[in-house]
Amino acid sequence: MLTDLRAFDLNSIDRGFIENPHPTLHWLRDNSPIHTNADGSVYLTRHADCLKVYQSRDMLSDKTDEFGKKFGQCPLHTHHTTSLIFRDPPYHTVVRKLIAGAFTPRKLAEMESRIEGIVDGLLDRVDDMGELDLISDFATILPTEIISFMLGIPEEYREKLRGYSLAILGALDPIVPPDRMAAGNAAVVEFSKILGDLIDHRRRNPDGAAEGEVLESLIFGEHDGRSLTQEELIQNCIFLLNAGHETTTSMTANAIATLLDHPDQHQLLMDEPDHITTAVEEFLRVQSPLQIGNRLAGADIELPGGEVLPKGTYIHTSIAGANRDPAVFEDPDRVDITRKPNRHIAFITGIHVCLGATLARVEGRIALGRFVKRFPNVTGNGPREILPLARFRGFTSLPIRVR
């Protein structure tokens, strides 16, 4: 049983919190739902409070100052302050419109049969292997193939993407040791060079894009007469590659781990595969790939309970906590693949709502649906290793046996 957590501080969390944050999140929600950390920032664990923050136009995502202090002037700083996710309008609006214009429903429809083909090919490989690491042999490959294809990344670079992405995203954790910072900077430099060359190539050969590729629309697209500069293009493509595969890898792996841990739900999904759509939503709720978000209050904000956070407050939203708030989800720790409605905020809401949510859901539905159907005897095959990060929930290794 947990004792007094008044001393909890998000900036000094331990391994136990990373492994299973939920007992702590429940305690915080009940006893300190607007929890102040030692640095004055607040950590919100109630669904209604997180929703209010995400829906308010006064809450800012721009992290130029914060990242200036955290990173100094370095490639990680350039990357994270040029990505749309950490910017506000008007820059955010321009980049978002350009990306949304590239990821159209038509492009996504074109992708669906490609996704089915890639999944079936991967499942054949899984079948041949019998014993495998779900992460490296399946879960990372599908989203990497899809987003790399959409951004025109040649095959020879694809296996490097997860390393780059973990190094770059790992630098966003509350505590970043110097070696992790150095790895993040090196990843941005290498990745930028690769993308710069690819973009130059596509500029010179605008007609060479394959059907379904979106890089060309990002290079040549305009919003209000403005197109992206080379640096903006490079950094936002790196962001898209990271956003497009890291979280989706975790969605698939977290889902299969959840099924292995809940045989009744696994059996139900095998017996009634039509539950796959609600099942994907439930996996996103109980093990949200992105667990913590941030906003800076650009004006005072009154939360639904009447508490006011003053302008200038740095806010951490607990997506994981909100998604298990008993005020919104009955019996929130129970996994129920038929849960409906399911108002989780794994993709958040508001002006930064995930631009890849539709793509991720399609990938999840096809990959998980076909995996479950094809491998009814799947079991764990040794210890799992979870990602050693508080912000992202997933695994570095998940050994399984499929027959």
- Report DSSP state, residue 376: T
How many other C-beta atoms can be found within 10 angstroms of the C-beta atom of residue 314? 16
Q: Least separation, in Å, of the C-beta of 37 and ligand HEM?
A: 18
CB nearer to ligand HEM: give 111 or 167. Answer: 111
What are the CA-CA distances from residue 149 to residues 141, 157, 244 (Å)? 12, 11, 11
Comparison of 2 and 353: residue with beta carbon closer to ligand HEM:
353
Q: How far is the CB of 47 from ligand HEM (least distance, A)?
A: 14
Cβ-based nearer residue to ligand HEM, 5 or 354: 354
CB 352 within 8 A of CB 61: yes
| Least spacing, CB of residue 401 vs ligand HEM, in Å | 25
Q: Which is nearer to ligand HEM, 244 or 321 (CB)?
A: 244
Instruction: Give the DSSP H/E element, type plus range, for residue 295.
Output: strand 292-297
Q: Where do contacts with ligand HEM occur on this chain (CB under 6 A)?
A: 61, 84-85, 96, 99, 147, 240, 243-244, 247-248, 251, 289-290, 293, 346-348, 352, 354-356, 359-360
Residue nearest to ligand HEM (CB): 356
CB nearer to ligand HEM: give 33 or 293.
293
**Which residue's structure tokens are 């997506």?**
319
Q: How far is 239 from 83, CA to CA, in rounded Å? A: 6
Question: How is residue 390 annotated by DSSP?
Answer: S
- Please enumerate in sequence order all residues whose Cβ is within 8 A of that of 188, keeping only pairs 6 or more positions apart, or say none: 75, 76, 78, 79, 168, 238
* Minimum CB distance to ligand HEM, residue 271 (Å): 25
Closest approach of ligand HEM to the CB of residue 378, in Å = 21
Nearer to ligand HEM, 118 or 355 (CB): 355
3-state secondary structure (DSSP) of residue 132:
strand
* Shortest spacing between CB 325 and ligand HEM, in angstroms: 16
Phi then psi dihedrals of residue 141, to 5 deg: -70, -45
